[in-house]
Structure 1
Amino acid sequence: MGLVLTVLVTSEDLWIVALLGALAGIYLFFRGFRVLQRKRLIGDTPTSKIRSASMGLVEVTGLASGPYTMKAPITNLPCYYYRSMVWQWKQVGKNKEWVKIIDESLHLPFYLDDNTGRVLVNPQGAELDIHRDFHEEYSPSLFSDKDFIPVNVSSFLEGHGFGNDREKIKVEEYCIKPKNALFILGTLAENPGLEVSAKPIRTLHATATGVTFSISGFKEDPLQSVLDAAPAMMQTTMETRSFSTVITTKKYDPGAGTSEEIIRLSADTSKPLNADQMTQQQKIAAALTKAGISNPAAWAAAGIDPGPVTATAVCPENGSATNVQDFDLKPKVALMKGTHNPAFFISWRSQRDVLASLGWKSALYIWGGPILTLLCAYILVRHFSFL
């Protein structure tokens, strides 16, 4: 062991690695206690039935359900929530590493059903531990001239301004789909005005404090500059059927006897309209086009979907009572991130599995952190010849 350390200490940059390792060990030590605190919180909070759940911090389990779904961009799966991420293998300094280039996440408010009742879930700000539905790496081939990236992934990249530049990429997608079994720890509180609709909402995760978009050539918020230049384009609530150009198609499923009504916003502004004839979203789309802003992030920030995301509602072909009518779209209470107790956790695993995972993680961090720090401290001492 001493011989191995002596050989390692001869490296010129080893002291930097050892210093970072010592700091990482300290971080893991304190992180372990936070994980342990989460474990105790989940273990001490009794699991409630939705029908009898009281206001405040609750634990519930059930199946995800809802009147609307959207299609995930990579897998094309109907879902209530998705997060699609792309990393590119890039040169960073002297080394190559995975650099995240795309992180897109949208959700629709959905319900949790445990056969005793339903509760509306607003996943905004939740810490999510959900199933990974897609994970692939793509590398260019020297022996093939064909595109090495599938069409669905290529379209997703192009929608975010990234073409097929023959670089190695890694793609992942996570979804909450209909009838997924979920375990949720959150705050049951009075609905602050959340209404269920087919309009996808950009998701802020537990570690995010806000969403900003960086567009080349703009030093200020591009959306704000557009709104300032067009006073008539003040913020409004965008209803599903008030899109600038609505393309509606129906796909009939003979097995289920239902049809999917797909509503998509088109960014096409080729047909001129008078200002009085244009809707709020048409005015914003026209202003973005006139300003030369084609970045999908800016269109999304303006509340306008440039095309890749579609919202679907399942409705019977005969037009009678629909699935939407089976849901209370404006419930009095909702399960969300609380103001006084911000703990909000959504997992696809059972409570028992969650507790087991948190248990071994906390033990690993609490014991492994100090060991890592001591080992790195020993390397630092040897490096600077204190021993």
Structure 2
Amino acid sequence: MNAHLTLLFPHSTDNSWIAAALGVGVGLFLFYRGFRILQRKRLILNTPTSKIRSASLGLVEVNGLAVGPYTMNAPITGVPCFYYRTLAWELRKSGKSQEWHQVADESQHVPFYLDDNTGRLLVNPQGAEMDIHRDFHEEYSNSILFGNDMPPNVRSFLTRHSVTGDHKIRIDEYGIKPKNFLFILGTLAENPGLSVDPRPTQTRHAAVAQLSFNLPGAPKLGVALESTPGSAMSSVNFKTSMPSSAESAPHDVIRCSSESNMATPAEPTRQSKVAAALVKAGITHPAAWAAAGLANPAARMANVSETVVSADATGVAAGVALEFDLQPKVVMMKGENNPAFLISWRSEREVVRWLGWKSAALIWGGPVLTLLSAYVLVAHFGWL
């Protein structure tokens, strides 16, 4: 029996049954998640592609090129874009092995439109499931021999997120750039009051799920199902830690989410306005920024200034902005009744194929994980 436990759980202890119990639950969730993705695939197949000019309110499927009057510069690549998401991972030791731990996740967007030659449609990407092309992927080491390999923009990004870079670092960056082809499944709704301006807004991404439960007297458990833009499969991370004897067991949380900071849409907009006002007034004292609820004033001032410069440097003047409806009557967004909202760089056919492979892997992989974990439980308690 111990040999079987060691084979399935190399780092197993006397508490391996708890990890096995967790595996049963995660396997069932993956099975459920696979069917949800299969439903999304069928929804795309059953939703006809509409032209923007003739699209009606409700759930629609459109595709075209990303355009807009304003752009911002991605922090790593520096290219003008409408949306970016930059992630930093740090390689840390975990027992006898090493694992990548996410240490930074920054995502912003400026208003952009979808153009299919029949019309333009304002897109609000808040809450969207992003399947975006990866523009940058690199690993860096801060050792003496390889310290110079890390560019200044990478160091600046890590410093902004309080990452020392003492360990090996991996940087991934995704973006939506001008003239990028996009396939969007979402809700066409009346404009709830959105206006178009050049100030970047923090982007919230779709949460897969979130569960919580309490295991009194047991090791602290955690599992995360995470996805990043452009990833064909979600990654599952298991973590266990033993609380000290003097501490009571806290509520253990299982998080299955692609976004760690779920800020409200109004919050980043309000902070951006305050930051812009402070910059315009020439207020640089850290105490004033702290009183306004803003951290890293130098970084925020650089971001605001960079955005304004980017808008001018790319030839986006007031005359160009007049070509766009800055207060459109309808917006493509995440709906209340139809929460399906997908923005992808792939064609409809590629999206359907991608969802098909993903759903099949989860539908088959979930039961396999459940059965293996159930076997460990049965073997542990001697029920075989």
TM-score range, shorter chain: 0.7 to 0.9
Taking a change above 3 Å as real, the CA distance of residues 191 and 386 of structure 1, as seen in their structure-2 partners, is same
Taking a change above 3 Å as real, the CA distance of residues 102 and 123 of structure 1, as seen in their structure-2 partners, is same
Find out whether 1:331 has 2:338 as its counterpart. no
Tell me the equivalent position of 2:377.
Answer: 380
Find out whether 1:211 has 2:212 as its counterpart. no
CA positional deviation for 1:185: 0.6
Tell me the equivalent position of 1:35.
Answer: 37
Tell me the equivalent position of 2:106.
Answer: 104
Tell me the equivalent position of 1:127.
Answer: 129
What aligned pairs does 1:183-198 form with structure 2 within 5 A after superposition? 183-198=183-198
Does the aligned pair in 2 maintain the 1:267–1:307 contact within 8 Å? no
Kindly provide the CA deviation profile for residues 43-101 of structure 1, in whole angstroms up to 9, marking residues without a partner as x.
11110010110111100000000000000011101000111111222356786432222
Taking a change above 3 Å as real, the CA distance of residues 102 and 266 of structure 1, as seen in their structure-2 partners, is farther
Secondary structure of the 1:380 match is helix
Taking a change above 3 Å as real, the CA distance of residues 6 and 128 of structure 1, as seen in their structure-2 partners, is closer
Unaligned regions of 5+ residues in structure 2, if any? 208-258
Tell me the equivalent position of 2:357.
Answer: 360
TM-score w.r.t. length of structure 2? 0.74
The letter for the 2-side match of 1:199 is R
Distance in 1, matches of 2:143 and 2:69, equals: 44
What aligned pairs does 1:92-171 form with structure 2 within 5 A after superposition? 96-143=98-145, 146-163=147-164, 165-171=165-171
Distance in 1, matches of 2:137 and 2:314, equals: 35
Q: Of residues 340, 362, 376 in structure 1, which corresponds to 2:337?
A: 340
Does the aligned pair in 1 maintain the 2:137–2:170 contact within 8 Å? yes
The letter for the 2-side match of 1:69 is T
Secondary structure of the 1:206 match is coil
Secondary structure of the 1:339 match is coil
Find out whether 1:67 has 2:69 as its counterpart. yes
Distance in 2, matches of 1:121 and 1:51, equals: 15
Tell me the equivalent position of 2:54.
Answer: 52
CA positional deviation for 1:314: 4.9
CA positional deviation for 1:293: 7.5
Q: Of residues 311, 314, 327 in structure 2, which corresponds to 1:313?
A: 311
The letter for the 2-side match of 1:116 is T
Tell me the equivalent position of 2:242.
Answer: none
Find out whether 1:23 has 2:25 as its counterpart. yes
Tell me the equivalent position of 1:227.
Answer: none
More deviation in 344-353 or 7-16?
7-16
CA positional deviation for 1:366: 1.6
Distance in 1, matches of 2:314 and 2:36, equals: 49
Secondary structure of the 1:341 match is coil
The letter for the 2-side match of 1:268 is T
Does the aligned pair in 2 maintain the 1:161–1:295 contact within 8 Å? no
Distance in 2, matches of 1:203 and 1:44, equals: 29
Tell me the equivalent position of 2:80.
Answer: 78
More deviation in 82-91 or 126-135?
82-91
Unaligned regions of 5+ residues in structure 1, if any? 213-222, 224-234, 247-264, 270-284
Distance in 2, matches of 1:166 and 1:102, equals: 14
Distance in 2, matches of 1:180 and 1:157, equals: 28
Distance in 1, matches of 2:188 and 2:323, equals: 22
Secondary structure of the 1:32 match is helix
The letter for the 2-side match of 1:72 is A
Does the aligned pair in 2 maintain the 1:314–1:323 contact within 8 Å? no
TM-score w.r.t. length of structure 1? 0.73
Does the aligned pair in 1 maintain the 2:279–2:301 contact within 8 Å? no
Tell me the equivalent position of 2:295.
Answer: 295
The letter for the 2-side match of 1:351 is E
Find out whether 1:238 has 2:239 as its counterpart. no
Distance in 2, matches of 1:143 and 1:177, equals: 35
Find out whether 1:268 has 2:284 as its counterpart. yes
State the number of aligned residues: 321
Does the aligned pair in 1 maintain the 2:136–2:173 contact within 8 Å? yes
Does the aligned pair in 1 maintain the 2:274–2:292 contact within 8 Å? no
Taking a change above 3 Å as real, the CA distance of residues 3 and 203 of structure 1, as seen in their structure-2 partners, is closer
Identical-residue share of aligned pairs (%): 55
Taking a change above 3 Å as real, the CA distance of residues 334 and 293 of structure 1, as seen in their structure-2 partners, is closer
The letter for the 2-side match of 1:306 is M
Distance in 1, matches of 2:347 and 2:314, equals: 34
Taking a change above 3 Å as real, the CA distance of residues 324 and 378 of structure 1, as seen in their structure-2 partners, is same
The letter for the 2-side match of 1:313 is A
The letter for the 1-side match of 2:99 is E
Does the aligned pair in 2 maintain the 1:64–1:179 contact within 8 Å? yes
Q: C-alpha root-mean-square deviation of aligned residues, in Å?
A: 3.3
Kindly provide the CA deviation profile for residues 246-298 of structure 1, in whole angstroms up to 9, marking residues without a partner as x.
5xxxxxxxxxxxxxxxxxx97635xxxxxxxxxxxxxxx76225x598733xx
Find out whether 1:176 has 2:176 as its counterpart. yes
